[in-house]
Amino acid sequence: MKQPYLKFCFGAMGCGKTRKLQGDYYSKVQDGFEAIVIKPSIDVKGDNNTLARDGGSVETTFLINKKDNIYIKIANYLLEHNLDFILVDEAQFLEGHHVEELSNVVDILGINVICYGLRTDFKGNLFEGSKRLFEMADPLEPIIRQCSCGNNKIYNMRLYDGVPVFEGEQVAIDGVDATYESVCRKCYKDAKKKVLSRSKVKEFKK
């Protein structure tokens, strides 16, 4: 019998992570498995649903708050339900302890967990949740899309009024607090260089 697993599917903004989650969810259900979807409560887009860019949505069973113990939540859920798969949207927003709790759901309760999320924030730094998933998950699955220059998109460039910004809080929800454009490393560096050059010109003119 195949051992349960903790899997992390990761990619840049707009690469189809949530669409993949929704497709995986419906496939599992159609194949006769019991599956639920959960996500961190900090993701207010879509309210209690996972919301893909094409408008598709799946209702979540749980919203996870910072101090929640996911293992206990799932253990209580199992008192009245069968469960084969847990699909986690926006997994980058998980706390480190959440990932460890999910690993216990896999290793102790025997339930498969698939997490979908970003690798890095708009500055190119790992989120806490994705960092812990890289440390603990097996297997890892990148979701690849190409930048307009042909390289793989790995950076999530934050935009305000269409202008790239490189300072600010780590979390700003796409479509709520800001917008994003996913680009490759080189295009990200080029855009940052242009913004910094404009700032220096403005300072010089003052």
Q: Which residues are catalytic?
A: 90
DSSP E strands, the chain: 6-10, 35-40, 49-51, 57-59, 62-64, 85-88, 112-117, 140-142, 155-160, 163-165, 179-183
Taking the C-alpha atoms of residue 53 and residue 48, their distance in angstroms, rounded to an integer, is: 16
**Coil, strand or helix at 23:** helix
Structure-token pair, residue 103: 């690993």
